[in-house]
Amino acid sequence: MLPQARPLPNPDSRLSSAAKIKLSMATTASVPPEILAKYEAVIGLEVHVQLLTATKAFCGCANQFGAPPNTNVCPVCLGLPGALPVLNEKAVEYATLASLALNCQVRDRSIFARKNYFYPDLPKGYQISQYDKPLAEHGWIEVPTPAGTKRIGITRLHMEEDAGKSLHDGFPDSATRTYVDLNRCGTPLIEIVSEPDIRTPDEAYEYLTRLKEILLFTGVSDCNMEEGSLRCDANVSVRLRGAEKFGTKAEVKNVNSFRFIRAALEYEIERQIEIIESGGRVVQESRLWNANEGRTYSMRSKEQAHDYRYFPEPDLPPLVLTARLKEEVVKLMPELPEARRKRMIAEYEITEQDAQTLTATRSLADQFESAARAAKNPKRVANLVQSELTSRLKARCLELEQSPITMKGIAFAADLAEEGKLSSKQLKQLFDSAFESGEDFPAVYEREKPQQITDPAAIEKMIDEVIAANPKQVEQYRGGKKTVAAFFVGQVMKLSKGQANPALLNELVTKKLDG
Amino acid sequence: MSVSLEDVRHVAELANLELTADEEGRMLRDLNAILEHVAQMNELDTSSVEPMAQVSQVIGEGQTETVLRSDETRPSLDRARVMATAPDTDGTFFKVPKVIER
């Protein structure tokens, strides 16, 4: 008689979660600050990232989000008997590229292993992963903290495959059935495990932000959290400040934004401190973050669930990185965000904050640089982005990449301003028009061609008018307070409805006042 | 090293197996016989031998390049054919008994 199979609880959480949930503050609000201050948190993060390959990790099925359910499947990713995996070369390249970008030491020979557990979205009954010989180890990322730059260690980066997707709700028989879509099954992943070097929720947030930025620059993933291409679990424990030994940790899962991770960690740290302060003991367990309620819940998974009985994958040979492949990867390495910001600050004389905004994505930085190199004054291009563009984007909830005005358009505007062909008021109006019509700056400028008064006599006439109306300020100026000139420039600009040529106006005001 | 009946039950649970009392007893005997055999081999000093995850490591010595697949899409299976073998389906999804954990 054959032994009978029966379902076991899922040791891994890959639960669907609503993509957009309002952020609620996550505090238990019962632990006084002086008690919280006695403790320190120890946090480690595990990040799973889907690689942007055309095909899956071990078969030729398309690696594509949003395809009709169960259409990107084949005998290999369905786990049909006799099907054999063959590793995707691009996935190896990307995983190696990410490893190098994260300052890891890459192993010449790494080993794939089977991680065994039962769940309906894992048809083989095991996940192909890496265990004791991962692709890369001993990396680090630098993150900004209030006390200066801090280096967060990366324990390891290994390759593995994703599982399929279980749908628990939304079908007529959802009360008794779970629906399974295996399109995602076999998608290439890298798992990046940090050292327990992180001490605060803010540091965790910064680590994730920097990690995502680096991965985006390398182009190995789109890091889209809503589509699940980047997922994060956090291990957190607390201990009295100065204590050597780590406390008992809990694992927080199901968190789908960096802000939620920060909130979940804040909640979890307070929860653990509260338990210890009241004489209790923290239980090692997995906890699910509920963003609606702003708290974590125990998953009550069984202890044995973590016994994955890893063993070397007999169907895959060791992954040997040849010199040729490594050379290919090194060629793909872009200038990374931190280095790029440093160079841009020096090259264009922009501020740290400018550089931060302009390197939000690699493509944005590319666009800025090509526009700035062609512009008369790169600093002015950066200034316009900060002063005119970001506020308008924020007001409309747009990302920099969705801006109607391109970097080229901004450089065009900056040049006009540099040449004194546009007053700042006219510039603002044109920016407004561009946002209203959704057109780029040059198009709006050509259409509206704001009139400019460039006739010196006309400007002089207005200056005379303002001088006559403001004798007190004239006196101040002539008494040596030269800065009052700006007042006259402003008044004349107002009188001209923003149309006076700024360069000419400046010159004439000084001349008139001095004369 | 030997295993107890408790170990057998634990491993059976991990492997998703329900064993009868008779099967448990047989499994215990078999596993301990295997472990005894391995214990014998363990008497050899292998400290100077590099661990081997795969025989191909030995066979392929000298020709180390791993065979990789180029990242080109190949046709997937037709869904109707896939679902024809599914125990339960609505034609689009695999259906399984409710996964309780939520």
For A90, A108, A310, B61, the CA distances from B55, given in Å and listed in that order, are 26, 18, 18, 10
Q: Which of A63, A94, A109, A178 to mutate to test the interface with B (most CBs of B within 10 A)?
A: A178
Q: Which residues of A touch B57 (CB under 8 A)?
A: 317-318
Which of the listed residues A410, A432, A448 is the one where a domain comes to its end? A448
* A152 and A264 housed in the same domain: yes
Of A74, A301, A317, the CB nearest to B54: A317
Contacts of B100 in chain A (CB under 8 A): 9
Q: Among the three residues A422, A448, A474, which one is the final residue of a domain in this structure?
A: A448
Judge if A293 and A260 occupy the same domain: yes
Indicate the number of domains in chain A.
3
Token pair in block for residue A250: 């809990």
Model pLDDT, residue A289: 86
Residue A509: give its domain's CATH number: 1.10.10.410
pLDDT of residue A297: 85
What's the pLDDT tens digit per position in B34-69?
999 999 999 999 999 888 777 776 666 555 667 899
Q: HSE on the CB side for A27, CA within 13 Å? A: 8
Shortest alpha-carbon distance between residue B25 and chain A (Å): 14
* A224/A263 same-domain check: yes
Q: How far, in Å, CA of A177 to CA of A91, rounded?
A: 34
**What's the confidence (pLDDT) of residue A17?**
36
- Identify whether residues A469 and A491 lie together within a single domain: yes
| Best to test chain B binding among A70, A89, A124, A309 (most B CBs inside 10 Å) | A70
Q: How many CB pairs under 8 A join A and B?
A: 155
- What is the per-residue pLDDT for B92? 95
Inter-chain residue contact A179 with B60, CB threshold 8 Å: no
Q: Do B66 and A320 touch (CB under 8 A)?
A: yes
Residues A282, A157 within the same domain: yes
Please give the ipTM for the structure prediction. 0.87
Taking contacts as CB-CB distances below 8 angstroms, the residues of chain A near B90 are 171, 179
Closest partner CB to A180 (pick from B54, B77, B94):
B94
pTM: 0.80
pLDDT for res A1: 35
Domains, in order of start, for chain B: 1-45 (1.10.20.60)
Name the average pLDDT for chain B.
Answer: 87
Q: How far apart are the first and last CA of chain B?
A: 39
- Do A263 and A375 sit in the same domain of this protein? no
Partner residue opposite A3 with nearest CB, options B18, B53, B66: B18
- A296 plus A175 within the same structural domain: yes
CB A371 within 8 A of CB A381: yes
Cβ distance of B71 and A88 shorter than 8 Å: yes
Task: Measure A180 CA to nearest chain B CA, in Å.
Answer: 5
Residues A440 and A483 in one domain: no
Nearest CA in chain B to A113: B53
Domain of A176? Answer: 2-305
Can you list the positions of beta strands (E) in A162-214?
A: 165-167, 177-181, 188-194
Nearest neighbour of B54 by CB, restricted to A8, A62, A312: A312
The answer on A42 and A18 residing in a single domain is yes
Domain endpoint, select from A427, A448, A469: A448
In a domain, residue A478? The reply is yes
Does any domain span residue A170? yes
Considering the domain architecture, whether residues A471 and A507 belong to the same structural domain is answered as yes
CB distance B88–A177 less than 8 Å?
A: yes
Task: Print pLDDT tens along chain A (515 aa).
Answer: 333 333 333 333 333 333 333 333 444 557 888 888 899 999 999 999 999 999 999 999 999 999 999 999 999 999 999 999 999 999 999 999 999 999 999 999 899 999 998 889 999 999 999 999 999 999 999 999 999 999 999 999 999 999 999 998 899 998 999 999 999 999 999 999 999 999 999 999 999 999 999 999 999 999 999 888 999 999 999 999 988 899 899 999 878 889 999 999 999 999 999 999 998 888 888 888 888 888 888 876 544 456 889 999 999 988 999 888 889 899 999 999 999 999 999 988 888 888 888 898 888 888 888 888 888 888 888 888 888 888 888 888 888 778 888 888 888 888 888 887 887 888 888 888 888 888 888 888 887 777 777 788 888 888 888 888 888 888 888 888 888 888 888 888 888 777 787 778 888 888 888 87
